[in-house]
Chain A
Amino acid sequence: MKKKANTLLETPFQTAGPFVHIGCTPNLIGINNVFKSDFGLRPFKNVPKNKLINISGTVFDGSGVPVYDVMIETWQCNSEGIYIKGEGFGRVIPDFESGEFIFNTVKPGFTKNENGKPQSPHILFWIVARGINQPLVTRMYFDENETKNDYLFKKIKDKERQKTLLAKKIDENNYLFNINLQGEEETVFFDF
């Protein structure tokens, strides 16, 4: 989309800083009597627990140290490939000691873009932390699904780098998805 001359500038991003949890997940850090509840603790409230998958992982910086202060937002369609109001949004923070995050959600289905282009099952990850000046956006895909026709996968020319977006299947219900902000296995990040 071309920028038009008579438009306003957008308000710029600033880092979320290390204390983003106060505003976004206060109940998870012991601020319990202000908001009724935090958003995104359960992306699909109406789906029974035995129908959910677990996704765990760690965000690493360029020296291999976990990003302990990260907050991740996830966004996805349901298992039928449909984006629904009130479902599909998650907020995840890691354990402040280990840096590991874990959340439960449904496995998303195949979906199509507005112009009919196919998209393989994926979850959008929106990542903020101290030192991240603009949110970093990536996607998690599933190893067991074909991705060769996926609209975004096809834009990644380097096959090795495509692998950074694939969650590792541990067993039927458990997936591992680590994110590397830098380094040899730097995760593919997107801009749009």
Chain B
Amino acid sequence: MKRISVLKKSSKNQPERFYPDYQSSILRSPKLDLIDFIPTNTEMTGPLFNHDIIGKLDSDLTINFSKDGSKAIGQEIFVHGYVKDQYGTPQKNVMIEIWQANAGGKYRHPNDKSNVKLDENFSGCGRFITSSDGYYLFKTIQPGAYPFPNHGIKWRPMHIHFSLFGSSFAQRLITQMYFEGDPLISLCSMVNAIPNKKSRNYLIAKLDLSKSESEKILGYKFDIVLRGKDQTFFENRLEGL
């Protein structure tokens, strides 16, 4: 029978859980060692999503909260790319959810207490399920940078949050996308918690003029790599299968 597993994560490619420069991690990271194990059927399964649960405007954040068709304020952008695994295999039917601040750096959330104004036509959330070649596309607006408390006040680079469901919990990913050329990226403690520079660069979307439209919308390309799915074959059949 087929047994599916995943490639091991590499710790130098992942942010350190305890990273004191990022103040919030100090009390929210375990002190004891995590228990390592080979994923079981619990981790090698997960929720699967059908394309029909996605609404037409779910992936267009410029209008998906609009009441009268007015667009959200800000520079319109396309964010697009391919989702693959570590072997380069396209990952189809991956649920991608994104959320972001508005053009002024304010989130539509009861716990965002900043004085910056909300944009009445902007929710900040979107979702998309990748096509058979692993492709996804969002239309949105450029989020603003914003200050936040971290050993005094620091600035977050412009970013969009991404959540992805692969084919199992072992491929589950939650991350953030940054914008090429933003000088705040190299100052960000959340980014710098990742030891490997090459891995940090994976989080930076590249300006993509080929995806820009009629001199109105800027394109950004952001490819995403989920953990590699390994298939090995076992001779013993499972009981009950």
Contact = CB atoms under 8 A, between A and B. Distances in A.
Interface residues of B, number: 95
A1 B29 contact: no
A149 interface: no
A119 interface: yes
A10 B86 contact: yes
A9 B203 CA distance: 12
A67 to B, nearest CB: 7
Given A20-B161, A133-B22, A192-B36, A10 B5 contact: no
Interface in B87-111: 87-88, 97-99, 107-111
B125 A22 contact: yes
Contact of A1 (B200, B225, B230): B230
B15 A190 contact: no
What is the interface of chain B mostly: helix, strand, loop, or mixed? loop
Interface string B162-196: 01000001101111100000000000001101101
A8 B10 CA distance: 12
Contact of B58 (A24, A35, A77, A135): A35
Given A35-B55, A192-B37, A133 B13 contact: no
Contact of A67 (B28, B35, B55, B190): B28
Contacts of A103: none
A21 interface: yes
Q: Which 10 A-B residue pairings sit nearest by Cβ, starting from the closest? A: A131-B24, A23-B99, A131-B28, A89-B47, A62-B27, A133-B15, A14-B176, A22-B99, A191-B34, A7-B86
Given A24-B97, A181-B28, 19 more contacts: A1-B5, A9-B198, A9-B202, A10-B7, A11-B203, A13-B173, A15-B15, A23-B163, A35-B58, A115-B234, A115-B236, A128-B174, A131-B22, A131-B27, A133-B193, A134-B15, A135-B174, A137-B169, A191-B37
